[in-house]
Structure 1
Amino acid sequence: MKNRTFKIVFAFLIFSGISGYAQKNSKKSFDVKRNEVYIDSMMTNAIEKGFFPGAQVMVGNKDAVFISKNYGFQDCSKKHAVKNEDVYDLASMSKVLGATLVTMRLVGEDKIKLTDRVGDAVPFFKNTPIADLTLFELLTHTSGLKASITFYQSLLSTPDGSPLLSDKKSAEYPELFDTMYVNKNIIYDVNYLSFTPKENWIQVYKNMWLNPEFYKTVYEQIANANVNPRGKYVYSDLNLLLVKEMIEAKTGKKLDQLTNEIYTELGISKIGYNPLKWTSIENVMPTELDNFFRKDTIRGYVHDEAAAIFGGVSGNAGLFANAQSIAVICQMLLNDGKFQGKQILNAKVVKEFTQSPLAKEGIYRGLGFDKRKPDEFFKADDFGHTGFTGTFFFMNPDNNRFLIVLTNRVNPTRTNRLMYKDDFMAKIWKQINN
C-alpha cells in the first residue's frame, strides 16, 4: 500500500513538474526575437509610408505577454510619442469587447437566450417588421438589416436645400470629408441639437447636446431597415445597436455599467466608454478632422457618428482601450473564460460564441466575433475583430496566441486606407503563428 501511494505521489510530482516546466517554457516555443524584428520592420515601414501616425502592439498567450511595444506618435503632428497608457478608439472592436462580452455573461447566467426575440425583449419593437429577429441572428449578422444608417445626417441641412455633400470640390463645397466635399452652409436642426447644455439632453460631443426625442426616429428607421433576405450574411452596425437594447431591457442596466462590472473583475482600468471620464485627454489618441458633423479634430469622444448619437455608449462602437487591457481579455478568452482563478465567463459559452455555427452555409462568423474563411493567414478556429479606426485583435486557441494592433489610421482623415492594401495586419498575424 505504501509502495502504491509512493508511486501515485511520484507520478503526480512528475506531472506537476512537466506542467510547470511547460508553462515556464511556453515562451520558448515562440521565437520572441525573430517575431519582434519582423514586427519592428513592418511597423517602421508602415509609419514611414503614412499608414498611421503610431501604434501599440502586443503579442502573447493565455499565460504571458511576449511582445509589448509602442511605435511612432499620437498623431500626424509627431509631437508626442505613443505611451503604454494611451488609449485608442476601438471602433467596431467594441462590438465584441463590449456588447458581446456582456451577452456572453448573461447567456452563461441564463438571463438571456440566443432564441430571444427583439420584440419580446424591447417593447418599442413589439409590433414592428423586426419583432421576430433573434439574438442569434443579430450576433451572426444574418438578420437581414441594412449595413448602416447615417442617423446624424438628418440633423443637418442647407438653407437653400442643396445637397450636404458633393463629389466635386468648389467654392460652395470646399472641405473634404472622406471622398466627398462638404457644403459650407450647413445648418443644424435646433429642435434636436444644442451647442449649450440642456436639461436631460445627451452630450454627443464636447460642445453638442442631443434632444433624446430624436431616438424615436432612430428606432423607427431601424425597425424598417430589414431590406435583405433574413438568413443572408450582411455585416451591420444595426445588429449590435439592437443587441444593446436587448441586454439593457433584460437587465435594467446600461451597457457601460454592465461592461464595467466585467472589467472590474478582470482588474483592467484603461478600457471603457467616454474616456474623458476615466483618463486625461493627453492619453487619448486623436482620430479624424471631421469637417462635416463636429467641425473639429475628434479627441476624447467617439469617432463613429452612430455611437456619438447615443452619447458615446453604443453596441456598435464607443470603447476606448490600451493594448494591455485588451490583452487581459484575450487571456481570459483563451483560458476558457477564466482569469487568475476566477471564472469570468462560462467556458461552454466562450466556445459557442467563438465557433462558426453557419460555416456549412459559407458564413464564417462567430457570435459577435469575426472569423475568416481559412486561408494562408487565418485558421478555422481563429477569432477576433477589427475596427474602422485602424484596430485589430485576433486569437488562435489552437496554438494559444493572441495579437493586438491598435492604430488611429483615420488621423487626420478616413480617406487614408493604405494599411488595407497589402494585408498588413494579416501578415503580422500569420508571422506570429508560424
Structure 2
Amino acid sequence: MGRTILAAVALLSVTALAGSATASPSSAGGHFDRPQRGFAPGETVLRDGTPEEVGLDPTPIDAALQQIAAWTERTPGREHPMYAGAVSLLVHDGVVVRREAVGKEQRYSDGAGTELPADQQEPMGVDTIFDVASISKLFTSIAALQLVDDGSVELDAPVAQYLPEFGVNGKQGITVEQLLTHTSGLQAEAQLWKLPPEQRIPSIMQLTPEHPPGTNYTYSDPNMITLGVLVQRVTGERLDRVVAERITGPLGMRDTGYNPPAAELHRIAATEFQADPPRGMVRGQVHDENAWSLGGVAGQAGVFSTADDLATLGQALLNGGVYNGSRILSEDGVAKMLTNYNDAFPGNAHGLGFELDQRWYMAGLSAPHTAGHTGYTGTSLVIDPLSRTVAVLLTNRVHPSREWGSNNPARQELAQGMARALAVRPEFGSASWFTDRAGTLTTDPLGPVSGPVQVSYSAFVDTQRDSDGSDPLLLESSVDGTNWQPVPVRAKGPGAPKDAQQQLAGSGHRSWWEVRGSVAAEPGQQVHLRWRYAPNDQYTGRGVNVDGILVADRDATLLDGELQADRLHPEDWTSTDR
C-alpha cells in the first residue's frame, strides 16, 4: 500500500498539466530542449508529413534508416544479417515523418539459413503484420488498467481476490500492481508447452515465488500470463475479445489482434524455423511457445500488429488515453503507465505495464517518463511524452533462428536518429558546440593571467549516467598544454547536480545548465582549457552542447567564446545551430 501511495504522489508530475490535453499545440515542435508538459491535445490524429514541417532535421533520421537497411545484409562484425527485414515508423507532434520498409518478410527455408529462390522470397511492406511478441504485454496491461478505471479491480488488492486458486504457495500477498511492475517475485519463465493442455494455466496458479513479493525485480512472463487470466476472469470474456472490444476496435487498429486470419498470411513476417517443438517455419502463428500452447492468446504474447497500428496506440497514450474521439484509458490510468513504481530497483524503472527510461533501446529519447517495450521477435515501441514522439521498429530478427543475434543496435539507431533530429537551440548567438562522441574542445593559451581564472559556460548534457560515472563531460585545465587536471564545476538548472562536480552527466531533464568553475593559477602563467566528452558505455544519450563560454581573471576577460570562436579548436566537436 505504501508504494502505491508514493507512486500516486509521483503521478502529479505527469498529471498536473493534464488539462493541457485540450490546449492548442505548442510552438516547441522539433525541439529537444523545450520539453512538453502534460498530454498532447486529445484531438491529435496521425497524419503524414515531412520532418521539416514539424521542425526536425531529416539528416540524422535518414542516416539511421540507411543503417537499418544495411543490416538486412551481412555487415562487418556479423556472421549473418541482423534481420531479414524491417519496418520503421517515426511520429512527431502527430505527424508521421518517416515510414519505411526494407528487406524481406520471408527469406529463408530452414533454420540453417538456406535462402529461398529469389522468386519465392517476399518483400517487406510498410503494412506488413508482425508478431510483436512481448509488446503484447502492453495490451494486457491496458486491459487491466481499464478494469482499475471502472472500479472492477484494485491495484493494491491481492491477485487471489480475483483468482482464488492463485493464492497458494506463498503468493497470497502478491498484488495486481506487483504483476504489472514485475515485482511479484515470480520466476522469469515457465515452459507450459511441455505440459499437457489441462495443466498449463493451473501450473502457473501453483507456482512458488522465487523471492518475497515486492523485494526483487524479475521480468516475468508468468506475471503477465496471470494478469491475462485475471482480465478474463473479471470480464467474463477471453482476452482476445477484451482487447478487440476495448482497445483495438475503438482505436481503429484494424490489423492488430491475436491469431491473424489465413487470408492475411501474405502480409505476415515469418519468424523462426522451430524444431523443438517441431513447428517448421513459423508464419502467421505466434512465435512464443507458451502462447502457442495456449491457443495463441495469452497475457505475455500473441498480438500481431503493424507499425501504423502501434503508432496509433502510441499517439492515443500521448493524448492521455483518447484517439479520434474514442477513450480507452483515463488520463490517470495513462499517467500510471508513465510513472516509475520501481524506485527501489535502480535500472529497472517500470510504470504499470511500460518499461521506462531504458537507454539500451531508447537511446537519446530516454527520460524518466519515456515509455516503451520490446519484443523477442525483434520489435520495439518507444513513446517520448517530452517531445511527443513515437518510434516504432519492427523486424523479424528471429527469422530463421534466434541464435543469429540481437537487433538492439537497430533499436538504438532509430531512437538516436530521432533524438538527433530534434533541435537543441543555442543559448547564445547562432551556434553552440556539439558532440556525441569522444572528443575535445580546446582553447588557445590564455594569459598571462593575473591570478585565479573564472570560467562560465552553458552546457546541455544528455548522457548515460551510471554509478560508474559513464559518459562524463569534463572541464580540464593545463599550464603546459600537455598535463591536464579536472576543474570542479557547479551547475544550476533543472536536473543539475546539487554539489560541485568534477564531471557532468545526466539525462532526461532536457534543459541547459549554467556552469561555473575556478582554475587556480599563479600570476604570469598561461592557462589552457578544454572541454572533453568521454563516453565509455555502449548506450549513449543524445550528446552534449557547450555555449556561451566566458573566461576571465580578476583584471580582464581572457576569452569570449561568442566573439572569439576562432580561439576554440574542436576535435570531433562541431559548431551547430541546432
Same fold (TM over 0.5): yes
Q: Quick check: 1:239 aligned with 2:270?
A: no
Q: Quick check: 1:303 aligned with 2:287?
A: yes
Match of 1:136 in 2: 177
Higher Cα Rg: structure 1 or 2?
2
| 1:186-235 deviation per Cα after TM superposition (whole angstroms, max 9, x unaligned) | xxxxxx4xxxxxxxxxxxxxxxxxxx4233xx423552231123220000
TM-score (norm 2): 0.58
Q: Quick check: 1:112 aligned with 2:153?
A: yes
Match of 1:227 in 2: 210
Shift of 1:119: 1.3
Are 2:341 and 2:350, in contact at CA under 8 Å, matched by a contact in 1? Answer: yes
Are 2:104 and 2:124, in contact at CA under 8 Å, matched by a contact in 1? Answer: yes
Match of 2:416 in 1: 430
Match of 1:66 in 2: 97
| 1:314-350 deviation per Cα after TM superposition (whole angstroms, max 9, x unaligned) | 0000000110111110110011111123322101110
* Secondary structure class of the residue paired with 2:146: helix
* Secondary structure class of the residue paired with 1:48: coil
Q: Quick check: 1:337 aligned with 2:321?
A: yes
Q: 1:219 to 1:40 in 2, by over 3 A?
A: same
Q: Quick check: 1:75 aligned with 2:138?
A: no
Shift of 1:90: 0.5
Match of 2:67 in 1: 42
Among candidates 209, 213, 221, match of residue 198 of structure 2: 213
Rounded Cα–Cα distance in structure 2 between residues aligned with 1:353 and 1:17: 24
Match of 1:95 in 2: 137
Shift of 1:62: 5.0
Larger relative strand fraction: 2
Are 1:46 and 1:419, in contact at CA under 8 Å, matched by a contact in 2? Answer: no
Q: 1:397 to 1:20 in 2, by over 3 A?
A: closer
What is the one-letter code of the residue matched to 2:135?
M
1:175-324 maps to which residues of 2 (within 5 A)? 192=196, 212-215=197-200, 218-231=201-214, 232-261=216-245, 262-276=247-261, 279-324=263-308
Match of 1:184 in 2: none
Shift of 1:85: 2.7
Are 2:370 and 2:382, in contact at CA under 8 Å, matched by a contact in 1? Answer: yes
* Secondary structure class of the residue paired with 1:74: strand
Match of 2:83 in 1: 52
Q: 1:18 to 1:272 in 2, by over 3 A?
A: closer
Shift of 1:431: 2.0
What is the one-letter code of the residue matched to 2:89?
M
| 1:380-407 deviation per Cα after TM superposition (whole angstroms, max 9, x unaligned) | 2210100000001101100100100001
Q: 1:17 to 1:56 in 2, by over 3 A?
A: closer
| 1:26-56 deviation per Cα after TM superposition (whole angstroms, max 9, x unaligned) | 9634426324422321112211220001111
Which sections of structure 2, spanning at least 5 residues, go unmatched? 1-22, 30-43, 75-80, 108-115, 421-578
Match of 1:10 in 2: none
* Secondary structure class of the residue paired with 2:291: helix
Rounded Cα–Cα distance in structure 2 between residues aligned with 1:397 and 1:241: 28
Among candidates 190, 199, 202, match of residue 149 of structure 1: 190
Q: 1:140 to 1:20 in 2, by over 3 A?
A: closer
What is the one-letter code of the residue matched to 1:145?
L
What is the one-letter code of the residue matched to 1:250?
V
Rounded Cα–Cα distance in structure 1 between residues aligned with 2:175 and 2:168: 15
Shift of 1:18: 8.1
Shift of 1:374: 6.0
Q: Quick check: 1:33 aligned with 2:74?
A: no
Rounded Cα–Cα distance in structure 1 between residues aligned with 2:323 and 2:260: 25
Rounded Cα–Cα distance in structure 1 between residues aligned with 2:130 and 2:222: 23
What is the one-letter code of the residue matched to 1:406?
L
Shift of 1:242: 0.6
Are 1:62 and 1:335, in contact at CA under 8 Å, matched by a contact in 2? Answer: no
* Secondary structure class of the residue paired with 2:106: coil
Match of 2:15 in 1: none
Are 2:105 and 2:124, in contact at CA under 8 Å, matched by a contact in 1? Answer: yes
Rounded Cα–Cα distance in structure 2 between residues aligned with 1:221 and 1:19: 48
Rounded Cα–Cα distance in structure 1 between residues aligned with 2:293 and 2:152: 28
Rounded Cα–Cα distance in structure 2 between residues aligned with 1:394 and 1:19: 21
Rounded Cα–Cα distance in structure 2 between residues aligned with 1:395 and 1:17: 20
Rounded Cα–Cα distance in structure 2 between residues aligned with 1:418 and 1:126: 37
Larger relative helix fraction: 1
* Secondary structure class of the residue paired with 1:144: coil
TM-score (norm 1): 0.77
Q: 1:332 to 1:286 in 2, by over 3 A?
A: same
What is the one-letter code of the residue matched to 1:93?
I
Q: Which has the higher contact order (CA 8 A, sep 6+)?
A: 1
What is the number of equivalent residue pairs in this alignment? 358
What is the one-letter code of the residue matched to 1:94?
S
Are 2:217 and 2:345, in contact at CA under 8 Å, matched by a contact in 1? Answer: no
Q: 1:18 to 1:330 in 2, by over 3 A?
A: closer
Q: Quick check: 1:396 aligned with 2:384?
A: yes
Are 1:32 and 1:66, in contact at CA under 8 Å, matched by a contact in 2? Answer: no
What is the one-letter code of the residue matched to 2:194?
Q
Match of 2:401 in 1: 413
